[in-house]
Amino acid sequence: MVPTPLAPSATDPLWWRDAVIYQIYIRSFADGNGDGTGDIEGVRAHLPYLRDLGVDAIWFTPWYPSPLADGGYDVADYRNIHPAFGDLAGAEALIQEALALGIRTIIDIVPNHISNEHEWFKAALAAGPGSPERERFWFVESETMPNHWVSNFQGETWTQVPDGEWYLHLFTPEQPDLNWNHPDVRREHEDVLRFWFDRGVAGVRIDSAALLIKDPALPEVPENPGPGEHPNTDRDEVHDVYRSWRAVADSYPGTRVLVGEVWMPDTKRFADYLRPDEMHTAFNFDFMARPWNAAELRESIDSMLAAHAPVNAPSTWVLSNHDVTRPVTRYGREDSSFAFAAKRFGTPTDLVKGTRRARAAALLSAALPGSLYIYQGDELGLPEVDDIPLREDPMHFRSNGVDPGRDGCRVPLPWSGDAPPYGWGGTPWLPQPGDWAPLTVDAQQHDPASMLSLYRAALELRRSTAALGDGDLAWTESAPDVLAFQRGDFVNVTNLSAEHVALPAHKKLLLTSEPLVNGELPPDSTAWLRV
């Protein structure tokens, strides 16, 4: 196949350094065929919505054939599309139609594990102990469980098959881990990258990027592993994988980017993934996990910018994704930080306060140096849905129902109408709340005070303000609990205090997340100024 070039409007080689990237959880975005499951046709029909929102790229969570044991992060075939979402021809058309509107497409690559329905795993089970087919995975012959590694979804990481061998899965048993010491595994993934780059994809988001390499001795996790000493996370050899992926990406015209999902408290180890011959960017989860508190956020901004500087990579700014509690809910709670282990049903939430803070955070994050991620529905101010009767997420089941899981942030988007299904044809795969009529796109798009209008205005200003996007910031003098910084002739002021604060001298008030009160910025709000 002749590699598809990117659109002429999209030839800036540094596009990724300040791009606004919209995350599409395809099952829940828009329904093209009326069966209650979002699909590629639904996305194609709503590309003008994304253009009008002002995004530079869309990132699709996995859209491949999959039993959906983990929302598609259990891939059965990396070179095709799940029939419920459409087909390959539809995906190819979508990529081109989006490019024609100036929107690049990023897809999700899941290299750590595959589905137990993938041909490789089926062949490994059939071929039996000692077979070459099993060497692509971590099969171990052992009377007892080979070790006590704990799954990222709680519980055990080993499952025994009928012939007595055990196989490793850092997530669910339906997601067997691949053995990255095996040349087939490396070759296959490089081929998959080429398959999608040939189709005009502008980048890949790399799932669980730090987990690929395991200590082949499979030892227990030491009590306090030092850097690179954990037996299944952030091992030094993993960087070789991304160096070879970078070489594949760089062999294509236009910049094809590698974006890592790297959860890493050690910011130096995090930045190692962003060295010039590895990934382009990685998700900045530190900022996302911080509570709504000026000192905490400032500390995060400073430490993440400092971590990125030595490798000359831009930071990313992320308020949420398909795994975490929606911002309007999180910021409306007494503890507004995010931690997977702390998620519980029925946490008291003040959605009015949370929405106000989420508006302020939307402007703050869009003003910081680097690229920006927006998770579908955050631009509508959707809350986390707590009362879903039938849950799908293994994080919920594997916690014995203690953890609500991630279904609450994956509810199908409300497009129009006064009641569910809000513009969806059939019954949506997850039920939508009855009180979302004011949150539909139709209800918000002509209301200048809506979350959607705020996002549109912010992204338009971000695009037209040269000082925004990539670059530096300088903190300026401000009242306590206020985040004020300058970038060229642009100033951001975010008031996290309980007081109204005066704005610095300015030429023009560009945008505020709340109306000013007697010329002052009220609590939990952001102002953008030209100075």
Per CB under 6 A, residues contacting ligand NOJ are 70-71, 73, 110, 171, 207-208, 261, 322-323
Cβ 465 to ligand NOJ shortest distance, Å: 31
Nearer to ligand NOJ, 27 or 308 (CB): 27
Residue 287 to residue 337: CA distance in whole angstroms:
10
Residue nearest to ligand NOJ (CB): 73
337 burial (CB, 10 Å; 0-12 / 13-18 / 19+) is middle
Going by their DSSP bridges, the two strands 490-495 and 525-530 should be labelled as antiparallel
Nearer to ligand NOJ, 413 or 501 (CB): 413
Nearer to ligand NOJ, 430 or 459 (CB): 430
Q: Which two tokens stand for residue 334?
A: 């007494």
Cβ 119 to ligand NOJ shortest distance, Å: 19
Residue 291 to residue 327: CA distance in whole angstroms:
11
Cβ 393 to ligand NOJ shortest distance, Å: 8
For residue 358, CA distances in Å to 38, 336, 380, 445 come to: 26, 11, 11, 18
Give residue for tokens 């999700």.
108
Residue 471 to residue 284: CA distance in whole angstroms:
16
Q: Which two tokens stand for residue 207?
A: 């799932």
Structural Rg of the chain based on CA atoms:
23
Give the contacts of 304 (CB within 8 A, at least 6 positions apart). Answer: 267, 284, 286, 287, 315
In DSSP notation, 430-490 reads SPPPTT-GGGSHHHHTT-TTSHHHHHHHHHHHHHH-TTSSSS--EE----TTEEEEEETTE
Cβ 237 to ligand NOJ shortest distance, Å: 20
Nearer to ligand NOJ, 205 or 456 (CB): 205
Nearer to ligand NOJ, 186 or 398 (CB): 398
Nearer to ligand NOJ, 112 or 255 (CB): 112
Write b or e for each residue in 288-300: b if 16 or more Cβ atoms lie within 10 A of its Cβ, otherwise e: bbbbbebebbbeb
Cβ 487 to ligand NOJ shortest distance, Å: 31
Residue 402 to residue 514: CA distance in whole angstroms:
37
Cβ 502 to ligand NOJ shortest distance, Å: 42
Cβ 64 to ligand NOJ shortest distance, Å: 12
Residues 325/409, Cβ–Cβ less than 8 Å:
yes
Cβ 72 to ligand NOJ shortest distance, Å: 8
Nearer to ligand NOJ, 322 or 356 (CB): 322
Going by their DSSP bridges, the two strands 165-168 and 158-160 should be labelled as antiparallel
Nearer to ligand NOJ, 133 or 174 (CB): 174
Nearer to ligand NOJ, 70 or 278 (CB): 70
Q: Which two tokens stand for residue 86?
A: 């459409």
Q: Which two tokens stand for residue 345?
A: 């049903």
Cβ 172 to ligand NOJ shortest distance, Å: 9
Cβ 78 to ligand NOJ shortest distance, Å: 13
Nearer to ligand NOJ, 171 or 485 (CB): 171
Tell me the sheet residues that pair with 60: 24, 107
Cβ 71 to ligand NOJ shortest distance, Å: 6
Nearer to ligand NOJ, 120 or 485 (CB): 120
Residues 73/79, Cβ–Cβ less than 8 Å:
no
Taking 3-state DSSP, the helix, strand and coil percentages for the chain, each rounded to the nearest 5, stand at 30, 15, 55
Cβ 113 to ligand NOJ shortest distance, Å: 7
Nearer to ligand NOJ, 324 or 468 (CB): 324
Cβ 220 to ligand NOJ shortest distance, Å: 22
Q: Is the peptide bond before 433 cis (omega within 30 degrees of 0)?
A: no
Phi, psi of 137 (to 5 degrees): -125, -175
Residues 358/439, Cβ–Cβ less than 8 Å:
no
435 burial (CB, 10 Å; 0-12 / 13-18 / 19+) is exposed
Q: Which two tokens stand for residue 12?
A: 């800036």
Residue 185 to residue 248: CA distance in whole angstroms:
15
Nearer to ligand NOJ, 261 or 379 (CB): 261
Going by their DSSP bridges, the two strands 525-530 and 508-512 should be labelled as antiparallel
Cβ 211 to ligand NOJ shortest distance, Å: 9
Q: Which two tokens stand for residue 84?
A: 């419920």
Nearer to ligand NOJ, 41 or 70 (CB): 70
Residues 495/481, Cβ–Cβ less than 8 Å:
yes
